[in-house]
Amino acid sequence: MSTFPQFNIPPELLQELSKYATPTGLADYAALAVLGGVGATYLSRGLLWDKPDPYHHLWFERPQLKNGGQLRSANKETRNIAQKLEEAGKNVVVFWGSQSGTAEGFAHRLAREISIRWGQDAMTADLSDYDPVTISEIPNAKLAIFVVSTYGEGDPSDNTAEFWSWISKATDVSLSNLRYAAFGLGNTNYKFYNRVVDVVVEGLDKFGAQALMPVGKANDAEGATEEDFMSWKEDLFKIFKDKLGFEEAEAKYIPSLKVEEDESLEPIDLHHGEPNSRIEAPKAAAQSSAVRTLSISESRELFTASDRHCLHMDIDLSSQPELGYKTGDHLAIWPGNPDIEVERLLDVLGISSRRDIPLGIKALDAAEKITIPTPTSSIALFRYYLEICAPVNRDNVRDLAQFAPTPEAKAYLLNLGQDKETYASFINRTHINLGRLLQLACPNKPWSNLPLSYLVETIPHIKPRFYSISSSSVVSPRKPSITAIVSTSPLPDNPNELIHGVTSNYLLAISQQARSQPHPGGITYHLNGPGDALEGGKVFAHIRRSKFKLPLTGKTPLVMVAAGTGLAPFRAFLSERCQVLKIGKEVGPMILFFGCRNPNEDYIYREELEEMQQALGERLQIVTAFSRLEGSPRQYVQDRVAEFGEDVVKLLDEGGNFYVCGRAGMAREVEKAVGLTMKDVKGWNDDEVNNWSKAIKKKNKWQEDVWG
């Protein structure tokens, strides 16, 4: 039965209305056609047009769930840090905010040493795992320590975002019960050196928190981060002893993890090296895709010098329809460790013959988070999950002495680890990793007393390396490309021995394999990957969203400054601008500043740039700087920016965007050069330049993609 209301309309009225409802001319029919089209278009939305991306949810997917993992929220763990401390029976919490993993590593080291050396039960806490306001509930009897990094233009790490927002904006908060210490990681090559820890401490103090000691700061500009941390840590421990009355005990390893063999498991049950791509912060989850197996469709050498290498690689997304990228995004590569270092560590530990035996990893401490997929094996640990090529920090050198197979090896490590100057001299000469150190300290006996749990707890875990995508998503939507310089540097005291960057040399080995040639340095890798998943020239990779973007309109002027492989995103920008011009749209004026050593050796993409310049005509000006051109004085991009300063200012005054990509030190010098030009051209003072700089960055008209 119909549920619509019934109306009794007189026949005479219907007849009269029909006169007006009947089309009488061409205009009426046209109007009806338009209205009908609009209606049909609206009704077909989501069916024929504006269809939702069926894979959109995968950008927000936490990949670890695919392998039977569980999110912390799925375990219904509390987000109240005070409650967590009480439940776990902890007296100290070390909060960490980390982008690259260094601050996270420091936090774990510190918590472990506080527990072992000072008898205070300590735990680490990812800042994104707890509601910031619950910090106010931590009682005065407990301690909070913050270890946070700064990157980019004074930005917090992804997992610090929620806490950063709260500490910056909260009102009516009391932290009068909170006793804390703080340590920041930064780099003076960046303009806003250690801004994040400064803001955190300012907020804590504003709300009445009690600082145990002055804030500590690490400066990575000269590689001093490790020693800066250790120096601050010793000052903290003096506070523990002198002010808090903690009693120091002999430092002896107490495992928080259990790593044991379990031969009942089958190979199919194991994680053989697939990346652990857990993304903990919501902000990070929104910025990164899931890790996928992607093919390298093409690879070519960009340098002409035989002793240096720079790779251009095209990555094929066709097998993964849910993946996509936008111009300016980053592509992350998950590397494997070289065979020689994997075999060295297996041999020195005396477990080479048991490399494939299944290993189970279990937490002995309720507050400990297992971040390596389990069950696994020793070969997978050393090949794919642990950074075994990294130099051994001084804390670990000293701690390793307790596991030494001989008194001589123990004395050697204690001498090396207890003296700052001795260690610094040694590490600068050798850049020694764990396997080499153990081999050197005791060459004739295996380190059978060194438990795998110690290595899993103390060696940094492998993280992906990010590369700026050097292709345009408009021109090449299914084949993003990356540009990777292969890192190989000689030891200061032994030029014949080289330090090989892990990921770039891994990529070089893949490139050489495609040509049926060995790696130039003789390094080999297990390129087929776990379970032969990477056979045929594939990599584990994912895409990360970036804010380093072209303006919405092609008419906006651009100033682009790059050195070396910093040219990568600008190749993409110019390629897109050429395409915009090709389809008949207007393109604004552009200047590209590019610096390298020598035009005959490392001027990457030179022919392509010349072709794009020809296509764009007067719209593009390319200005080069060569630092090692024989017979000519050294020039750097900042010098050329100053030389063409008036042209730069003109484009900025016309609403142009300014981009810098390369090393942080270069970016800082470029900003100085632009500031000096502003003073000369506009007659500004320092305050006016600073105010202009803040304003243009706030509007995203000045963007940087920098490192180191």
Number of domains in the chain: 3
Could you say which of 458, 486, 503 is where a domain stops?
Answer: 458
In the prediction, which pLDDT does 367 show? 83
Determine what percent of the chain is predicted with pLDDT higher than 70.
88
Report yes or no: 384 and 273 within 8 Å, Cβ to Cβ: yes
Task: Indicate if 215 and 122 belong to the same structural domain.
Answer: yes
CA-nearest of 617, 696, 613, 620 to 658 is 696
Q: Structure tokens of 217? A: 């700061």
Question: Is residue 225 located within the same domain as residue 268?
Answer: no
Q: Which of 183, 210, 242 is the last residue of a domain?
A: 242
Q: For residue 431, give both structure tokens.
A: 């850049």
For 411-445, the pLDDT digits (tens) are: 999 999 998 899 988 988 888 899 999 999 999 89
Same domain as 210, residue 133: yes
In a domain, 6, yes or no: no
- The residue that leads in pLDDT, 322 or 491, is 322
The reply to whether 587 and 696 lie within a common domain is yes
User: Does 700 lie in the same domain as 570?
Assistant: yes
Using the 3D structure, point to which of 242, 275, 309 is the last residue of a domain: 242
Cβ atoms of 93 and 123 closer than 8 Å: yes
Residues paired with 706 in a beta bridge: 662
pLDDT tens, residue by residue, 213-231: 999 999 988 788 999 999 9
Instruction: Residue 643: name the closest of 666, 670, 667 by CA.
Output: 670
Please check the confidence at residue 60 and state whether its pLDDT lies above 70.
no
Residues 609, 699 share a domain: yes
CA distance 505 to 519: 8
Q: Is residue 32 part of a domain?
A: no
Residue 542 lies in a domain: no
67/495: higher pLDDT: 495
User: Do 345 and 211 have their domain in common?
Assistant: no
**Are 404 and 265 in the same domain?**
yes
What is d(CA 561, CA 656) in angstroms, rounded to the nearest whole number? 13
Digit-coded pLDDT (tens) for 124-182: 999 999 999 999 999 999 999 999 999 777 889 889 999 999 999 998 899 999 999 99
- The CATH number linked to 107 is 3.40.50.360
Look at residue 315 and tell me whether its pLDDT is greater than 80. yes
Compute the distance between CA of residue 394 and CA of residue 424 in angstroms, rounded to an integer.
9
- Per the listing, tokens 């990777």 go with 484
- The number of helices, as runs of H, and strands, as runs of E, in the chain is 22, 23
In angstroms, the Cα distances linking 235 to 159, 220, 232 are 27, 20, 5
357: left (phi over 0), alpha (psi -120 to 50) or beta: beta
Are residues 133 and 202 both part of a single domain?
yes
649 lies in which domain range? 558-707
Query: Is residue 524 included in any domain, yes or no?
Result: no
Q: Within this chain, do residues 262 and 238 fall inside the same structural domain, yes or no?
A: no
Q: How far apart are CA 647 and CA 559, in angstroms?
A: 10
Is residue 279 located within the same domain as residue 237? no
| Average of per-residue pLDDT across 565-584 | 97
Report whether pLDDT(35) > 90.
no
Phi, psi (deg, nearest 5) at residue 648: -65, -50
Structural domain contains residue 51: no
pLDDT tens for each residue of 656-706 = 999 999 998 899 999 999 999 999 999 999 999 999 999 999 999 999 999
* Sequence-ordered strand ranges (E) for 195-321: 210-211, 216-219, 257-261, 292-301, 310-316
Residue 622 resides in a domain: yes
- Determine, yes or no, domain membership for 226: yes
Please tell me whether residue 423 adopts helix, strand or coil conformation.
helix
Residues shown for the chain = 708
CATH code, domain with 373: 1.20.990.10
**Domain identity same for 272 and 420:** yes
Confidence of residue 54 (pLDDT cuts 50, 70, 90): very low
Across the range 363-391, mean pLDDT stands at 93
Whether 352 is in a domain gets the answer yes
For the chain, the C-alpha Rg in angstroms (whole number) is 30
Say if residues 294 and 315 touch (Cβ distance below 8 Å). Answer: yes
User: Which CATH number fits the domain that encloses residue 685?
Assistant: 3.40.50.80
pLDDT recorded at residue 436: 94
Q: Identify the pLDDT of residue 406.
A: 97
pLDDT tier for residue 347 given thresholds of 50, 70 and 90: very high
Are the C-beta atoms of 110 and 94 separated by less than 8 Å?
yes
